[in-house]
Amino acid sequence: MAETDIKKGLAGVVVDTTAVSKVNPETNSLLYRGYPVQELAASCSFEQVALLLWNGELPSDDELAEFTAFERAHRALSPELKQVIDALPDTCHPMDVCRTAASVLGAQDPTAEHSSKEANLAKAKSLLAAMPAVVAYDQRRRRGQELVEPREDLGYSANFLWMTFGEEAAQPVVDAFNVSMILYAEHSFNASTFTARVITSTLSDLHSAVVGAIGALKGPLHGGANEAVMHTFDEIGIRQEETAEEAEARAKAWMDDALAQKKKVMGFGHRVYKNGDSRVPTMKAALDAMIEHYDRPEVLGLYNGLEKSMGEAKNIKPNLDYPAGPAYHLMGFDTPTFTPLFVASRISGWTAHIMEQLEANALIRPLSEYNGPDERHLS
For ligand SDX, the closer CB: 187 or 252: 187
Asked if 316 touches ligand SDX (CB under 6 A), the answer is yes
Closer to ligand SDX by CB, 42 or 313: give it.
Answer: 313
Among 33, 99, 123, 222, binds ligand SDX (CB under 6 A): 222
> Closer to ligand SDX at the Cβ: 242 or 277?
277
Q: Is 265 in the site for ligand SDX (CB under 6 A)?
A: yes
Which of these ranges, 173-181, 237-245, 269-277, 362-370, lies near ligand SDX under the rule CB under 6 A?
269-277
271 binds ligand SDX (CB under 6 A): yes
Catalytic residue numbers, as ranges = 222, 270, 321
Give the Cα separation of 229 and 232 in Å (integer). Answer: 5
Least distance in angstroms from the C-beta of 256 to ligand SDX? 12
The yes or no reply on residue 340 touching ligand SDX (CB under 6 A) is: no
Question: What separation, in Å, do the N-terminal and C-terminal C-alpha atoms of the chain show?
Answer: 27
Question: Which has the closest alpha carbon to 350: 195, 243, 245, 231?
Answer: 195
Contact pick of 109, 307, 321, 356 for ligand SDX (by CB under 6 A)? 321
Comparing CB distances to ligand SDX, the nearer of 155 and 215 is 215
Strands in the chain per DSSP E? 21-24, 29-32, 35-36
Residue 268 DSSP one-character state: B
Using CB under 6 A as the binding rule, the residues of this chain from 179 to 198 that contact ligand SDX are 187, 190
Instruction: Report the alpha-carbon distance of residue 177 to residue 125 in Å, rounded.
Output: 20
Q: Are 54 and 355 in contact (CB under 8 A)?
A: yes
Helix (H, G, I), strand (E, B) or coil at 36: strand
Instruction: Report if residue 269 touches ligand SDX, rule: CB under 6 A.
Output: yes
Question: Residues touching ligand SDX: how many (CB under 6 A)?
Answer: 20
301 binds ligand SDX (CB under 6 A): no
- Residue 342 makes CB contacts below 8 A (sequence gap 6+) with 184, 217, 223, 226, 324
Residue 21, Cβ density class (10 Å: 0-12 exposed, 13-18 middle, ≥19 buried): buried
Q: Collapsing DSSP states into helix, strand and coil, what is residue 54? A: helix
Residues between 28 and 67 that touch ligand SDX (CB under 6 A): none
* Interface positions with ligand SDX (CB under 6 A): 187, 190, 221-223, 225, 264-272, 314, 316, 319-321
